[in-house]
């Protein structure tokens, strides 16, 4: 009876170890690991290395969980034999059914809950055990890792996607903690969430045709240009050639200071590649202080225009205040 009980509790301990460490691994703060690793913390370096190679850790955990479940099943049969002196199939099946809730609570649910609350505190002391078991499991995990690399070379790269998921979860958790602590205001938190959502949306998805952008055809008089700007309540106008091609833009302030001569030297229209994200386009327009840009494909053909105002609306959820432009006298 001693061997069966010993194997049963050993299997439960291993199941809890691998289940909890898996949850703790996904809950780790990568930023904290990087700071600790910079201070020559060996444990932090090991954890950081595995966070950069998550497929190896996942393979180790899956292998360990399977071995733990096998040990629990074998110990259950052994325990039945030690108690009744026979390995009756019905008794073994009944014992396995009765022990399943115990395995679920103490081998899965409880360890995951505990590691979820304090991932780094619990992973640090058991990390040498995980590394040792990981080395012992190499004959099993290496083929799994190799298969994953082969599949990655044929299509997408799941490891990079997994790293991106881990980084995104960590940043979202940091933002949530900052909001709860009062460091971030609700508007700042919403803006950060919007940036995450728009980070992978290409700017070509939010382009507008020339007809939708406030514009004026050349040649036009100063009064016509100012009236067009007043009607559209915009501080700048897109300038089009007689053939309807964009040649640049002019600010109302330039018209008021320089007069119609501002149209002879229009401000150049910057170009943004179609594969740039909405966030990249907004940052570029912010730094260049341009209100709009021409979105082009790989051959340099125009796909439409993107306005900084429109990008502000996507990120902030509301447009910036409009200017009240009166008529020029």
- The C-alpha atoms of residue 14 and residue 62 are separated, in whole angstroms, by 12
Strand partners for 323: none
Domains of the chain: 2-164 (no CATH), 170-198 (no CATH), 204-316 (3.10.580.10)
Q: What is the pLDDT of residues 246-292, one digit of tens each?
A: 888 888 888 888 888 777 788 888 888 988 888 888 888 888 888 88
pLDDT value for 176? 63
Q: Enumerate residue ranges in the chain where pLDDT < 70.
A: 1, 31, 86-88, 152-193, 196, 317-329
* Contact predicate 120/35, CB 8 Å: no
pLDDT value for 114? 92
Closest residue by Cα to residue 116 from 24, 28, 31: 24
- The C-alpha atoms of residue 68 and residue 22 are separated, in whole angstroms, by 14
Q: What is the pTM of this model?
A: 0.49
Angle between helices 119-136 and 138-154 (to 10 degrees): 100
pLDDT value for 145? 75
Q: What is the pLDDT of residues 23-59, one digit of tens each?
A: 888 887 776 777 788 788 888 888 888 877 777 888 8
């Amino acid at each position: 009876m001693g061997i069966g009980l010993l194997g049963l509790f050993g299997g439960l301990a291993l199941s809890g170890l691998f289940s909890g460490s898996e949850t703790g691994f996904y809950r780790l703060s990568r930023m904290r690991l990087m700071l600790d690793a910079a201070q020559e913390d060996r444990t932090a370096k090991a954890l950081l290395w595995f966070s950069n190679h998550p497929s190896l850790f996942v393979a180790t955990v899956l292998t360990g969980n399977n071995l733990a479940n096998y040990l629990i099943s074998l110990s259950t049969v052994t325990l039945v034999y030690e108690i009744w002196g026979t390995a009756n199939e019905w008794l073994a099946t009944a014992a396995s059914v009765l022990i399943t809730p115990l395995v679920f609570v103490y081998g899965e649910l409880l360890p995951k809950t505990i590691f979820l609350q304090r991932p780094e505190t619990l992973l640090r002391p058991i990390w040498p055990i995980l590394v040792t078991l990981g080395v012992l499991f190499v004959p099993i995990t290496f083929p799994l890792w190799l298969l994953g690399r082969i599949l990655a070379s044929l299509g997408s790269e799941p490891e990079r996607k997994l790293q991106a998921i881990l980084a995104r979860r960590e940043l979202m958790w940091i933002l949530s903690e900052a909001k709860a602590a009062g460091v971030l205001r609700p508007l700042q938190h919403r803006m950060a969430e919007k940036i995450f959502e728009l980070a992978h949306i290409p700017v070509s998805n939010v382009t507008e045709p020339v007809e939708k952008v406030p514009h004026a055809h050349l040649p036009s008089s100063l009064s016509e240009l100012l009236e067009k700007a007043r009607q559209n309540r915009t501080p700048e106008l897109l300038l089009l050639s007689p053939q309807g091609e964009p040649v640049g833009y002019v600010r109302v302030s330039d018209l008021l200071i320089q007069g119609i001569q501002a149209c002879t030297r229009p401000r150049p229209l910057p170009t943004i590649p179609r594969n740039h994200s909405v966030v990249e386009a907004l940052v570029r327009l912010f730094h260049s202080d341009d209100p709009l840009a021409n979105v082009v494909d790989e051959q340099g053909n125009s796909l439409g225009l993107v306005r900084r105002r429109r990008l502000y609306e996507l990120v902030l959820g509301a447009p910036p205040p409009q200017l009240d432009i009166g008529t020029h006298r």
